[in-house]
Amino acid sequence: MEHCIKICMGSSCYSRGNQENLERIERYLSKRKIGCVIDLRGSRCEGLCSDGPIVEIDGRIHGGVNADSIEQLLDQQLLLQ
Ligand code: FES
């Protein structure tokens, strides 16, 4: 299965944590073999700034993603399907 991770790179999400989230996601993906192709795409403001930082995984939008929750979120969305 091909996964798609979209990281909001609008200024609000970027400054509130998506810069770090992007680095953590890249580290997570390079560390694990999850048998799929990952498509990392930056995106412009999703219009959900108040819920940010926004990370979309396989069409599902997640708000308030931070350094503490990103790994668990990736485990849930990518490994436990
Ligand atoms: S900057 Fe991410 S939703 Fe607006």
* Tens-digit pLDDT string for the chain (81 aa): 678 888 998 999 999 999 999 999 988 988 887 655 566 677 788 899 999 999 999 899 999 999 999 999 999 998 865
Specify the amino acid at residue 29: L
CATH class of residue range 3-79? alpha beta
Q: What are the φ/ψ torsions at residue 9 (nearest 5 degrees)?
A: -110, 20
pTM equals: 0.88
Cβ–ligand 1 distance for 61 under 6 Å, the answer: no
Q: Which residue CA neighbors atom 1 of ligand 1 most closely?
A: 10
Cβ–ligand 1 distance for 17 under 6 Å, the answer: no
pLDDT of residue 32: 85
| Closest residue by Cα to residue 12 from 57, 35, 43 | 43
Task: Kindly give the distance from the C-alpha atom of residue 10 to the centroid of ligand 1, in angstroms, as a whole number.
Answer: 5
Task: Kindly give the distance from the C-alpha atom of residue 33 to the centroid of ligand 1, in angstroms, as a whole number.
Answer: 30
